[in-house]
């Protein structure tokens, strides 16, 4: 008997393409659920630096050809997902350990909607407002956009505790063991209960096909006639 599908998305705020994935998933959560795809929790913080080291991958900004291509591809991707292009702050990339550990703490102690709202806020604060959220005082200000001062203090304390330091390390290591080498990374459970990996914010058509969810693929409109595949 067919099972419910499941998408697990692994993201880091150092990755602009993680924001595009997050935006698409949050926008389509209800539709996915309507098609028997589990969506809560769908987002998982992981440390991209650890994925790169563990897999031997190199960040695109360290490779000249990838960096040059990113100047074209980034704005195109942002436009496709209905967002303004992101501009890297002068301190990019940050050591994203603190914000990600804080997100793991939030995930354990608050409802999923607040978790998702704050996760999305990391990109707003970091990429658009040029806030170095790797610093506790600045991360606290970011948290206070969705949490009270008391809650923000509790989250920072939790995020710097040994438990959540270890949890982020462990979650990242598990993903490396599954073959991950970048973000956004997805582990998708199909109708037969079998999981497959997907990489990148431009792989949703592949994921939906694997999940047997009906969707409209890219089409070319025939001149003066009906659209064709």
The confidence score (pLDDT) of residue 221 equals: 85
Please give the tally of structural domains in the chain. Answer: 1
The confidence score (pLDDT) of residue 62 equals: 84
Provide the b/e sequence for 153-180 (b: ≥16 CB within 10 Å): ebbbebbeeeebeebbeebbeebbeeeb
Question: Contact 51/185 with Cβ under 8 angstroms?
Answer: yes
Question: Which structural domain range is residue 76 located in?
Answer: 5-228
The confidence score (pLDDT) of residue 200 equals: 96
Active site residues: 15
Q: Could you count the other beta carbons within 10 Å of the beta carbon of residue 140?
A: 17
Strands (E), 31-154: 37-38, 43-45
| Residue 77: half-sphere exposure toward Cβ, Cα within 13 Å | 20
The confidence score (pLDDT) of residue 63 equals: 83
Return the CATH number at 172. Answer: 3.40.30.10
Low-confidence ranges of the chain (pLDDT < 50): none
The confidence score (pLDDT) of residue 1 equals: 65
The 3-state DSSP composition of the chain as helix, strand, coil percent (nearest 5) reads: 50, 10, 35
- Exposed, middle or buried by CB within 10 Å (0-12, 13-18, 19+), for 228? exposed
Pairing mode of beta strands 185-189, 195-199: antiparallel
**Alpha carbons 229 and 207: distance in angstroms, whole number:** 18
In a 3-state reduction of DSSP, which class is residue 198?
strand
- Give the single-character DSSP code of 229: -
End-to-end CA distance of the chain: 31
Residues 154-164 pLDDT 10s: 999 999 999 99
Residues 190-201 pLDDT 10s: 999 999 999 999
- Exposed, middle or buried by CB within 10 Å (0-12, 13-18, 19+), for 222? exposed
**Residue 140: enclosing H or E segment and its boundaries?**
helix 136-143
**Alpha carbons 195 and 28: distance in angstroms, whole number:** 21
The confidence score (pLDDT) of residue 39 equals: 83
Q: Which of 141, 88, 97 is nearest to 118 (CA)?
A: 141
């Amino acid at each position: 008997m067919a099972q419910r599908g499941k998408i697990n998305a692994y993201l880091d705020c150092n990755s602009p393409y993680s924001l595009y994935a997050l935006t698409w998933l949050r926008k389509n959560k209800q539709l996915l659920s309507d098609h028997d795809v589990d969506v809560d929790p769908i987002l998982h913080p992981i440390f991209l630096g650890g994925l790169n080291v563990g897999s031997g991958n190199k960040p695109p900004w360290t490779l000249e050809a990838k960096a040059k291509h990113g100047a074209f591809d980034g704005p195109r991707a942002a436009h496709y997902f209905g967002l303004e292009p992101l501009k890297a702050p002068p301190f990019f990339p940050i050591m994203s350990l603190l914000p990600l550990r804080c997100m793991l703490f939030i995930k354990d102690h608050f409802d999923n909607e607040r978790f998702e709202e704050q996760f999305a806020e990391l990109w707003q604060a970091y990429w658009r407002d040029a806030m170095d959220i790797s610093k506790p005082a600045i991360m606290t200000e970011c948290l206070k956009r969705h949490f009270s001062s008391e809650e923000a203090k509790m989250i920072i304390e939790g995020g710097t505790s040994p438990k959540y330091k270890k949890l982020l390390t462990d979650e990242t290591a598990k993903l490396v063991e599954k073959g991950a080498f970048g973000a956004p990374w997805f582990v998708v459970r199909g109708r037969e209960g079998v999981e497959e990996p997907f990489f990148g914010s431009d792989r949703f058509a592949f994921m939906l096909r694997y999940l047997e969810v009906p969707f409209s693929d890219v089409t070319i409109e025939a001149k003066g006639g009906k659209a064709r595949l």
